[in-house]
Each structure stands twice: as structure tokens, then as C-alpha cells.
Homo-oligomer: A and B are copies of this chain.
Amino acid sequence: MNIPQSNLPRIVIIGGGFAGIAIAKKLRNKNVQVVLLDKHNYHTFQPLLYQVATGGLEAGSIAYPIRKVIQEYKDFYFRLTSVKEIDTKNQKIISEIGDLHYDYLVIATGSKTNYFGNKEIERNSMAMKTIPQSLNIRSLILENFEQAVLTKDVADKNSLINFVLVGAGPTGVELAGALAEMKKAILQKDYPDLDVSKMEINLVQSGDRILNTMSEKSSKAAEEFLLSLGVKIWKNVRVTNYDGRTISTNSTLTFETATVIWTAGVQGAAIAGLDAKSLIEKVERIRVNQYNQVAGYDNIFAIGDIASMETDKYPQGHPMMAQPALQQGDLLGENLIKLIQNQPLKPFEYNDKGSMATIGRNKAVVDLPKYHFNGVFAWFVWMFVHLFSLIGFKNRAVVFLNWVYNYIRFDREGRLIIRPYKKKSFTTFTSDEI
């Protein structure tokens, strides 16, 4: 990997998400050599991916170059690569671009979509965990509409403009709301030769309420907001398969649709090589102690979504979202320096600042630890928090400008099929009329 040898201890960080960037910032100029690895050369602000998918924001506005973050850090290296395996015996990682020795290893690989083993769903549905995936969803929505315009068969036409979102966590709910607004703001205006009122947005949830990690009050408010936007909500329905045309469920209910967006589950993005005992089955997260140290290893740590720290309050580990990742990254940065200096470490304690979700124009729900509210004020709080969580002044300015424009004009200009999503053709149509 062409990293210079030095007398400084080498800390290797795998992943430049919220956790990885947080620890990188803490290790700035701390007399250690740091190597940060990621398969993308940018950090992704995942909470706004759904706005990229629905044309409200450009991809560049929610991505930030990793090399720019560490530009002025001493003894800091970035390498663009995917890590294949950890060789704990020889203290090295094995990557696409070669091996690298570590003194301390920080695994911050985050999470990936969980299909619960169903390969057919994985093959036929869309996920939304990365920017390219969001752009694929955007392209597919628009391609479906272009195809629907051409399609004479009514069943095919309806399938093309029927969208089914599986999983009603924050991602599914926010995407459902954004799709409903996209219908009004763009699609009804852009496709006058199509009956866009037939477009359906179906949100399917296996549990008995949406946003089930939030308060009941917020669940209820979010449900009302979605219904007012025309989203159909299906609770207590478990999707069992999707063959590319038809969704089957655990009841007699089925959906005919060309587009399934799967947000029903996440699992840790684990890497091969760790002792099986340190990996939690099914969720694929890595078991860590209160210092984020991986069970069984002195010099390997895991932070963020991939790490599962089982505490009294969080027996299944902390929620897989930005806040625990940021806080663990911050603390581990400080603890690693302490560890190197033989000072006592500080145990992690999660400071739950609350959670929120936006459903649409003037519509959001916010859960603070002791207070839950929703509506216009919640929506402003949501915007404010997200705007200031973005890295980079310019991204903030461009996102703000887009939001103001979209709000005032009831419009979204990002309806561009720049990279077509090459889907297996859903309908084959012969158009012989002239």
C-alpha cells in the first residue's frame, strides 16, 4: 500500500462513515500514524440519501471528499480500497491493493442491507445504503415512468407506477413521504399523458406500528402525515418473496409492482478473519466491551453500526444510527491515545439525544428524551439539525438553497437519468403504431 514505515504506532481505520471520520478527527496530529481505508473516496451523509433518490438533492451535496477531511493532518494516509480479511495472527489486514500491518485496528465498516437470506428479494429489489444505490433508485423511478408512458397494457402500466417500500423504519418512512411529494411536485406535472393519480406508494411493515424505534406518539403522527400524503400503510404484513413482478406476503395479500425498495433490515458489514465468538450471528455485528474493544483481542476495536456493545439499557447493542457512531468514534479516539500512553481508559456511555424523521413539507416527528413533538416546528428542527450536521460550508449552502427552492417552487430539479439503471426489462412492448 506504499505507506511509509515509521516509529510511530500505526492505527488502521477501516471505513470513513460517521464513526470512522469521528475517530480520524480525534487522532489529528497525535503522534500516531493513521491509515484510513474506504471503498469510496468520499464520506456519505446517509440521512439524506432518500432526497437524492427522489431528486431533491444532488449526490455531491451529501458527499464530502475524505482526503479533504484529513488534508492537513500529519502522518495521516487515505487509501481507496476494500478490505477482504483481517489476519489477526500476523496483525495485518488483507485488501484489494495489498496487505498492511497494524498496531491498532479500528473496524468502522458500518452496516449493509439485510435480506434475511432471501436471494430472490436481494436480486429483484433496490437498496438505499449508498449514493450509487440512491442514484439507481432515482433513475429507476424515472425510467419506470418513461416506460409507463409507452405501455398500453393496463396491468403493466399500473405495475410500473406502483412503488412498494418494505420496512417502515426512518428510511422507509422518509422515502415514502418524499415519493408522495415527488408525485405531486414533479410526476403529475411532467407526465400529462399518463394518469399519475394511479401511482401508488405502499409502505409495508411486519410490526404493528411504523417507526417502532420512536415514541408511540411519533408513530401515530407519522402515520397520519403519510396517510394525508396518500401513502398506503400495511401493518402486520410480512413480505415473504418478490420475483420481480409480484410480492407475496404471509397473508393472501400480494402486490403487483416493478419496484420494491427494501429498507426492512440492516446487518453489520462484517469482515472475515475475526474469531467466530466475537461475531453475533444473524445481525453480523461484532461484540465489543465498554471500550469498544473486540472480544478476545487487545488491539482490535469496532465502532458504529458494526459494533454491538451489550449494556443493561441496550441488551442488543446500541441503535444502528449516526449518534452512537459519532460518540463511539470520538471516545475511542481519546482512548486509543490513552492506551498508547498507558493511561486508564474511559468507558463508553451513550448519550441519547433523541431521534427524528421527516415525512414531508412542514411534517416531521421529533423524540427528545423527555419530550415528543411533531408538525411544522419539528420540521424546522429536523432541517436545522441536518443542515448543521453536514460536513462542509458549501454543502450546507447548496442544500439550503435547494430546500428553499423546492419549498417555494413546489419543485425538484434533480429528475435526471444521468446513469441509467440497467434493469432487466419488466415489460417487452412492441410499438407498431406510427
A:151-203 near B, CB below 8 Å: 151-152, 189-193
Q: State whether the Cβ of A255 lies closer than 8 Å to any Cβ in chain B.
A: no
CB-CB under 8 A from A193, the residues of chain B are 2, 4, 77
Bound Cα distance from A189 to B100, whole angstroms: 24
**Interface: A42 (CB within 8 A):** yes
- The CA of A393 and the CA of B392, in the complex, are separated in Å by 24
Are A98's CB and B431's CB within 8 A?
A: yes
Tell whether A432 is near chain B: CB-to-CB under 8 Å.
yes
B65→A415 contact, CB < 8 A = yes
Contact B149 A2 (CB under 8 A): yes
- A346 interface hit (Cβ, 8 Å): no
Give the interface residue-count category, chain A.
35 or more
Residue A60 interfacial (CB < 8 Å): yes
User: Do the beta carbons of B401 and A413 come within 8 Å of each other?
Assistant: no
Do the beta carbons of B190 and A68 come within 8 Å of each other?
Answer: yes
Would you give the 0/1 interface string for A31-56, flagging 1 where the beta carbon is closer than 8 Å to chain B? 00000000011100000000000000
A299 → chain B closest CB, angstroms: 15
- Count the copies: 2
A98 touches B58 (CB 8 A): no
Q: Among B2, B41, B79, B416, which residue has its beta carbon within 8 angstroms of that of A60?
A: B416
**Whole-angstrom CA separation of A142 from B40 in the bound complex:** 11
Q: A419 and B132: CB pair below 8 A?
A: yes
A298: which B residues are within 8 A, CB to CB? none
Looking at A99, A405, A411, A433, the one whose CB has the most chain B CB atoms below 10 A away is A433
Q: What chain B residues lie within 8 Å of A398 (beta carbons)?
A: 398, 401-402
CA distance A414 to B67 in the complex (A): 12
Partner of A92, one of B58, B90, B98, B434: B434
Flag if B394 contacts A79 (CB, 8 Å): no
Q: Is A306 an interface residue (CB 8 A)?
A: no
Residues from 121 to 173 in A contacting B, C-beta threshold 8 Å? 131-132, 135, 142, 146, 149-152
Asked if A2 and B191 make an inter-chain contact with CB atoms under 8 angstroms apart, the answer reads no
Minimum C-beta distance from A187 to chain B (A): 10
- How far, in angstroms, from A296 to B433 measured CA to CA in the complex? 27
Interchain CB contact (< 8 A) of A433 among B2, B131, B394, B431: B2
Complex: chain B residue closest to A92, CB-CB: B434
- Measured CB to CB, the closest approach of chain B to A201, in angstroms, equals 20
> Is the pair A41, B417 in contact by a Cβ cutoff of 8 Å?
yes
A191:B67 contact, CB within 8 angstroms? yes
**Which chain B positions have C-beta within 8 A of A151?**
2
Complex: how many Å from CA A71 to CA B413?
13
In the bound complex, how far is the Cα of B135 from the Cα of A59, in angstroms?
13
CA gap between A179 and B44 in the complex, in Å = 26
Contacts of A402 in B (CB 8 A): 394, 398
A431 — which chain B residues lie within 8 A by C-beta? 1-2, 97-99
Name A394's contact: one of B2, B401, B432 (CB within 8 Å): B401
Residues of B within 8 A of A417 (CB): 40-42, 80
**A41 CB contacts on chain B under 8 angstroms:** 142, 146, 415-417
Indicate whether A418 reaches chain B with its CB closer than 8 angstroms. Answer: yes
15 more contacts with CB within 8 A, not counting A42-B417, A79-B150, are: A40-B417, A59-B418, A60-B414, A67-B191, A90-B434, A97-B429, A97-B431, A98-B150, A98-B431, A99-B433, A99-B434, A100-B434, A131-B418, A132-B419, A394-B401
The 8 closest A-B pairs by CB, nearest first: A98-B431, A58-B60, A67-B190, A101-B434, A80-B146, A99-B434, A42-B416, A394-B405
Q: What residues make up the interface of A, taking CB atoms closer than 8 Å to B?
A: 1-2, 4, 40-42, 58-61, 63-65, 67-68, 71, 77, 79-80, 90, 92, 97-101, 131-132, 135, 142, 146, 149-152, 189-193, 392-395, 397-398, 401-402, 405, 409, 411, 413-419, 429-434
